[in-house]
C-alpha cells in the first residue's frame, strides 16, 4: 500500500499536555549535517577539507490542522517537549520535538484550524 496524506492525523504528546487533530498540510525541513572545516593553514589555497562530525542541527516540522472543540488554546503548549507522531494510511513517523510556536483560527460556520511549528531535538526531559 502506498503512503498517502488522505486521512492523516497527528498527536503531539508534550510535557504540557497533548494536542491532536487532522492534518491538512505537513512540511518537514530535514536537519543538516554538522560539518567542520579542517583545512590546515599550510594546505594549498585551492584545497578545502570538510569533515562531517556525525551530528546534525536544525530541522523543523510545520503542521496545519483541523481541530475539534476540545483543542483549546494551543498557545498553552508552546515550549513543550515531547513526541510528535504523524499517521496516515500506510505511513507512520514519530520525532522528538519542541513546540516552538502555534496559532489557531476559527470563523463563523467554519471548523477550528491551526498551525504548529516544531523544532527537532534529541532532548528527553
3-state secondary structure of 28: strand
Q: What's the angle, vertex CA 89, arms to CA 74 and CA 29, rounded to 5?
A: 55
| Burial environment of residue 80 by CB neighbours within 10 A (0 to 12, 13 to 18, 19 or more) | buried
Give Cα 95 to chain centroid, integer Å: 7
Q: What's the pLDDT band for 67 if we cut at 50, 70, 90?
A: confident
At 10-51, the pLDDT tens digits run 999 999 999 999 999 989 999 999 999 999 999 999 999 999
- Please report, for the chain, the start and end positions of each structural domain, with discontinuous segments joined by +: 9-120
For domain 9-120, the CATH class is: mainly beta
Joined together, the cell numbers standing for residue 12 give 503531539
Residues 6+ apart with CB under 8 A from 50: 35, 36, 37, 38
Q: What's the angle, vertex CA 86, arms to CA 79 and CA 111, rounded to 5?
A: 80
Q: Residue 69: pLDDT above 60?
A: yes
pLDDT attached to residue 1: 41
pLDDT attached to residue 89: 86
Amino acid at each position: 500500500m502506498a503512503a498517502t496524506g488522505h486521512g492523516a492525523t497527528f498527536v503531539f504528546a508534550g510535557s504540557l499536555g497533548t494536542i491532536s487533530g487532522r492534518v491538512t498540510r505537513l512540511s518537514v525541513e530535514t536537519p543538516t549535517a554538522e560539518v567542520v572545516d579542517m583545512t590546515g593553514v599550510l594546505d594549498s589555497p585551492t584545497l578545502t577539507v570538510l569533515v562531517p562530525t556525525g551530528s546534525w542541527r536544525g530541522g523543523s516540522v510545520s503542521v496545519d490542522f483541523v481541530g475539534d472543540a476540545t483543542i483549546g488554546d494551543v498557545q498553552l503548549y508552546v515550549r513543550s517537549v515531547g513526541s510528535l507522531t504523524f499517521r496516515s494510511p500506510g505511513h507512520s513517523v514519530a520525532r522528538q520535538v519542541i513546540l516552538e510556536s502555534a496559532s489557531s483560527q476559527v470563523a463563523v460556520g467554519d471548523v477550528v484550524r491551526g498551525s504548529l511549528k516544531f523544532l527537532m531535538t534529541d532532548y528527553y526531559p
